[in-house]
């Protein structure tokens, strides 16, 4: 079991490139054999484990307030649904982080900007999030590139104190990607996740299959978070030990 490093002052984003909030977010996690996930993660990243397993997540949410520092958010463009498929890794410099298999978003401008600026595998999708008094419905249908879908309904519950597993899955302050053929990272600054219990009513998705993973087996572990403000730094090249 490897726990991610707790954010220290040197992890803080001194010069943010993007500000945003992640709202009405549901984490849905499945255990996977480490060797299965390792085949889908590029070297020199190492897959991190908890309780002897790798973990893969599907995380639907609403992104709000997307903007650069010192500029206001723009209606419609700055708010849209997003759904990520991700796992947890450690870079050659020893830092823990997130590796995204895919990121579906409902705004083609955001997809284009993130693919060009960060090298992240964003896809343009038709999406909606419907929130009622008790439940949250997430739906997505990928338009380009490729095809994938999600149909998820959850029922958020009472607040939940983070234990070791929750910290492993959520206390992540780097995102890794490949940009112009080189491994890069961006620092992500945020407060501890305000997690809640959540009941899964419906979970249908093809994101893991599109990532080259077998269908998940066993019941997932799920958490819900109402809102989290985030600062994201510019992409930087990961320095390899032999470079």
* Contact status, residue 153 vs residue 136, Cβ threshold 8 Å: yes
Average pLDDT for 208-236:
97
CB contact set of 43 (below 8 Å; sequence gap of 6+): none
CATH level 3 topology of 16-237: Acetoacetate decarboxylase-like (2.40.400)
Distance of CA 142 to the CA centre of its chain: 17
Domain ranges of the chain: 16-237
Q: What are the pLDDT digits (tens) for 114-129?
A: 999 999 999 999 999 9
Residues 164 and 207: their CA atoms lie apart, in Å, by 26
Give me the pLDDT at residue 239, please: 82
With b for 16 or more beta-carbon neighbours within 10 A and e for fewer, the 100-136 pattern comes to: bbbbbbbbeebbeebbeebbbbbbbbebebeeeeeeb
Provide the pLDDT confidence category of residue 241 given band limits of 50, 70 and 90.
low
The pTM for the full model equals: 0.93
Higher pLDDT, residue 6 or 68: 68
Give me the pLDDT at residue 59, please: 98
Q: What are the pLDDT digits (tens) for 193-220?
A: 999 999 999 999 999 999 999 999 999 9
Give all strands (DSSP E) within 94-242, no chain letters.
96-105, 122-131, 136-144, 149-159, 174-179, 182-190, 196-205, 221-232, 236-237
Cα atoms found within 13 Å of the Cα of residue 231, Cβ hemisphere only:
12
pLDDT > 50? residue 151:
yes
Residues 210 and 203: their CA atoms lie apart, in Å, by 16
Provide the pLDDT confidence category of residue 41 given band limits of 50, 70 and 90.
very high
Structure tokens at 12: 């803080």
């Amino acid at each position: 079991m490897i726990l991610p490093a707790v954010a220290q002052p040197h992890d803080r984003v001194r010069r943010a490139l993007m500000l945003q909030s992640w709202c009405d977010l549901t984490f849905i996690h499945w255990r996977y054999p480490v060797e299965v996930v390792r085949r889908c993660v590029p070297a020199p990243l190492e897959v991190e484990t908890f309780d002897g397993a790798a973990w893969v997540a599907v995380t639907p949410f609403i992104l709000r307030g997307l903007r650069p520092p010192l500029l206001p958010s723009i209606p419609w463009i700055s708010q849209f649904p997003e759904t990520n498929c991700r796992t947890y890794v450690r870079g050659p410099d020893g830092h823990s982080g997130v590796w995204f298999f895919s990121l579906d978003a409902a705004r083609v401008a955001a997809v284009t900007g993130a693919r060009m600026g960060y090298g992240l595998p964003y896809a343009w999708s038709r999406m909606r999030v419907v929130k009622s008094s008790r439940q949250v419905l997430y739906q997505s249908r990928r338009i380009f590139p490729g095809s994938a879908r999600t149909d998820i309904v959850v029922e958020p519950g009472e607040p939940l104190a983070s234990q070791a597993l929750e910290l492993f899955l959520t206390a992540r302050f780097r995102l890794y990607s490949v940009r112009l053929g080189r491994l890069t990272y961006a620092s992500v600054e945020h407060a501890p996740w305000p997690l809640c219990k959540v009941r899964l009513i419906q979970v249908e998705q093809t994101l893991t299959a599109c990532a080259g993973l077998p269908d998940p087996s066993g019941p997932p572990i799920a958490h819900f978070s109402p809102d989290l403000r985030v600062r994201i730094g510019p992409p930087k090249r990961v320095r390899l030990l032999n470079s």
